[in-house]
């Protein structure tokens, strides 16, 4: 596994883009709407990993609920895997609680599945695999 990206929950993606454009000294490489998650995303390449900004499109989305509860900030760590189906099964065998029993389509051309933070010391972990 390698760290694929860090997801950051934001209230205003346009305002946050200005902050991160200045921080990284360049503009994002991708903006995407993810209907299944009810979010808008913006991606920055940072060496071999990425930073993903996430803004809710719905009061019912996980990002809206996260911001209501904890405020803006780091939402999840995403790790790239070669075979997401095998990793989900391995995680279950290791005793981790899965939010997603099967992968679903996520941003940046990825299949994704989340591990529940109850089983990972309070950190939401995303497994992701590039769709080929």
Helix (H, G, I), strand (E, B) or coil at 85: helix
**pLDDT tens-digit profile of 111-131?**
999 999 999 999 999 999 999
The Cα–Cα gap between 129 and 115 comes to 15
pLDDT digits (tens, 9 = 90+) for 28-76: 999 999 988 899 999 999 999 999 999 999 998 999 999 999 999 999 9
| Beta bridge pairs of residue 47 | none
Strand 73-80 and strand 30-34: the pairing is unpaired
Nearest to 85 by CA among 62, 111, 50, 110: 111
- Distance, in Å, from the CA atom of 66 to the CA atom of 72, rounded to the nearest integer, reads 8
Across 11-62, the runs of DSSP E, i.e. the strands, are 30-34, 39-46, 49-56
**pTM score, two decimals?**
0.93
């Amino acid at each position: 596994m390698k760290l694929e990206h860090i997801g950051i929950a934001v209230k205003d993606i346009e305002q946050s883009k200005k902050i991160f454009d200045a921080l990284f000294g360049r503009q994002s490489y991708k903006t995407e709407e993810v209907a299944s998650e009810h979010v808008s995303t913006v991606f920055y390449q940072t060496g071999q990993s990425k930073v993903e900004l996430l803004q809710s499109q719905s009061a019912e989305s996980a990002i809206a609920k996260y911001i209501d509860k904890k405020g803006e900030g780091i939402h999840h760590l995403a790790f790239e895997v070669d075979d997401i189906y095998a990793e989900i099964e391995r995680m279950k065998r290791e005793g981790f609680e899965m939010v997603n029993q099967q992968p679903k389509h996520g941003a940046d051309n990825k299949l994704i599945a989340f591990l529940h933070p109850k089983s990972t010391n309070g950190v939401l972990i995303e497994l992701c695999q590039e769709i080929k």
